[in-house]
Amino acid sequence: MSTLNLPDGIMERALMPDLVINDFSGGKNTRVPGNRIADNELQDIFNMEYTPTGGLRSRKGRAKYNTTAIGSAGKITGIFPCKYANGTRKFVVSEGTGLYVDDGAGVFSAIQTGLTSGKYVQMAMLGNLAVFVNGAESPKKYNGTTVSALGGSPPADPTMICSHRNHLFAAGASANPFLISASAVNNPEDWTTANDSWNGYCGYQDGDPPIGMISFMDTFLYVFKRQAIWRIIGSTGNSSSANVFTPERVASLTGSVSQFSIVPVGSDVFFFDIEGVKSLADTERAAGIEYPNLTFKIQDDINNLNQSKFSQFYAANHKQKSQYWLCVANAGQANNNRVIVLDYALRTPGPMGILFPAVTIFDHPMSAIALIEETTGADQLYGGDVSGFLWKLDTDDADGTADYSKWFKTKAFDLGDPARYKNFKYLFARVKQEGSYNLSINWSMDLDNTGGGAYTMSLALLAGAVFDTAVFDTATFDSGVPAKKRILLPAYGRANGQNIAFQFINSNKNQPFEIIELVLTAEPRGYRAFN
């Protein structure tokens, strides 16, 4: 191996064009080496989220909601907003063997005990009744005051329930897990066929029973299996006319492995298939040719999930931020310990015309999650842990009182000339000023093979700096206004090679940071020939 240098005088020392990165909306991509991903993609990201303009900001933290553990201080298996026709709201959670209602201030009282321990619970509302099922007991109804057995003759122990077109649908009963049943119109306690109820199948005893159901815009009822997706059409939802339902297959060889991952997202539905997160709209559009995987770029992370715990993966749509949150368990973990977050407002084109959301990873250990409309009308994301506590998510800048690490690693930039060696001169980082603390910046050369360097950036809010007189790389121009910091790379480590990657890190609570723009300058050197 030898180095071939261009003769002096052929602009060898002229600076290459600056690389400006102010958009990271390509998200994490580990499918290809770090020097081959797009400039707006990342090699790694953890506890960071994307701003609406494609910048990067450390995620918000979580705050404990209840100070005393619910029930037996075990796993939260469901979080339910019960909203009644008269405007009454109840906040109910399931834990252990019971159902518990909030007093509005984080104190939970039992409204149902004696349920089978550890079963995940689902809830649906029809009229003035909230109906709960867990796959072990008969359905329970809650009128906002008391819990009792659902009347009529509903399926004995369904695992799933859904309100659709003024009917209550149930499926997954142990006596016939393939059967899907619908109540009479506006009456969850009437399940007789003579009164507009219905019983039917989506693929009769095909070995693939329903996993979950979702009513989409009250137009179609989608039924997910592990290896198929069906929709049920029909019904006026009116008791004065005939209500006829017709199942039809939407897709084969794809489906959901977790009923709690199936969540409406705008005009679409996201769900978790064994291959990763998928879109119902993309699946229908693919027409059985290939089913796009929205987490294709992070397949290594998907492959590292605990497959034996797929059924407990739990999702919610964080509407305010256009984010789909999926709580998952990594390999070797008995409980959910990570959240895969898809920012569906930031999408980049991929194969087959698919738009891939920007993906990131959070470390919230939540067994259940839900977006709750509070009495103020504002939506709040809640998560439940395995110790009987609820947490307000996406709030504050600490995880309770604990620190948490947040970082991202950029592409290995080669400035459009992968073979040429460069002297990387300066990194300009435009950051949002949020406090008087430090941000660590590390860099590595040639895909981590030839060393690098480190720099500690002060984010101190320096008052009184004047735009035309302040020192450029040591002061901010105005409190709260983004400032540009200049790093002379060779002064803090090795900065010569074919490519360079940067990692930004902060590991302390109450120390958020936001990266708005990076500018990289370099001086070209020679080429290396391989013998």
**Where residue 54 sits, what CATH number does that domain have?**
2.60.120.260
Tokens representing 431 are 């950051």
Q: Are 312 and 329 in contact (CB under 8 A)?
A: yes
Residue 374 inside a domain? The answer is no
Residue 314 inside a domain? The answer is no
The CA distances from residue 382 to 91, 264, 428, in Å, are 11, 17, 38
pLDDT digits over 222-235, tens only?
999 999 999 999 87
Q: Are 164 and 218 in contact (CB under 8 A)?
A: yes
- SS3 assignment, position 159: coil
Residue 223 inside a domain? The answer is no
**87-120 burial by CB neighbour count: b if 16+ within 10 A, else e?**
eeebbbbbbbbbbbbbeeebebeebbeebeeebb
Residue 243 inside a domain? The answer is no
- SS3 assignment, position 297: helix
The CA distances from residue 403 to 269, 340, 470, 506, 509, in Å, are 34, 20, 33, 10, 4
**Alpha helical stretches, state H, 231-351:** 280-286, 299-303
DSSP string, 3-47: EEPPPTTSSTTSPPPPEEE---TTEE--SS-TTTS-TTEEEEEES
Query: Phi and psi (nearest 5°) for 260?
Result: -85, -5
Q: Are 284 and 267 in contact (CB under 8 A)?
A: no
SS3 labels along 358-420: EEEEECCCCCEEEEEECCCCCEEEEEECCCCCEEEECCCCCECCECCCEEEEECCECCCCCCE
> What's the confidence (pLDDT) of residue 234?
87
Burial of residue 237 (CB within 10 Å: 0-12, 13-18, 19+) is middle
Residue 431 inside a domain? The answer is yes
**Closest by CA position to 367, among listed 414, 406, 313, 322:** 313
Residue 483 inside a domain? The answer is yes
pTM > 0.95: no
Which pLDDT tens digits describe the chain residue by residue (531 residues)? 333 344 444 444 568 999 999 999 999 999 999 999 999 999 999 999 999 999 999 999 999 999 999 999 999 999 999 998 888 899 999 999 999 999 999 999 999 999 999 899 999 999 899 999 999 999 999 999 999 999 999 999 999 999 999 999 999 999 999 999 999 999 999 998 787 889 999 998 889 999 999 999 889 999 999 999 999 998 776 766 666 799 999 999 899 999 999 999 999 999 999 999 999 999 888 765 567 799 999 999 999 999 999 999 999 999 999 999 999 999 999 999 999 999 999 999 877 678 899 999 999 999 999 999 887 888 999 999 999 999 999 999 999 999 999 999 999 999 999 999 999 999 999 998 788 899 999 999 999 888 899 999 998 864 433 333 334 444 333 445 677 889 999 999 999 999 999 999 999 999 999 999 999 999 998 876 543
C-alpha span between 73 and 58 (Å, rounded): 31
> What's the confidence (pLDDT) of residue 436?
87
Residue where the block lists tokens 């090679």: 497
Distance of CA 185 to the CA centre of its chain: 35
Number of neighbours of residue 420 by Cβ within 10 angstroms: 18
> What's the confidence (pLDDT) of residue 288?
58
The CA distances from residue 494 to 8, 19, 144, 424, 445, in Å, are 23, 19, 66, 9, 8
Tokens representing 302 are 């998907």
C-alpha span between 137 and 120 (Å, rounded): 12
Tokens representing 352 are 């087959």
**Closest by CA position to 497, among listed 429, 450, 430:** 450
Number of domains in the chain: 1
Domain assignment of residue 22, given as a range: 2-58+406-529
> What's the confidence (pLDDT) of residue 9?
40
Residue 420 inside a domain? The answer is yes
Query: Phi and psi (nearest 5°) for 282?
Result: -65, -40
Tokens representing 9 are 């005088």
Residue 72 inside a domain? The answer is no
Distance of CA 192 to the CA centre of its chain: 40
Our CA angle for 389, 391, 396, nearest 5°, is 145
C-alpha span between 371 and 383 (Å, rounded): 9
One-letter identity of residue 314: Y
- SS3 assignment, position 324: strand
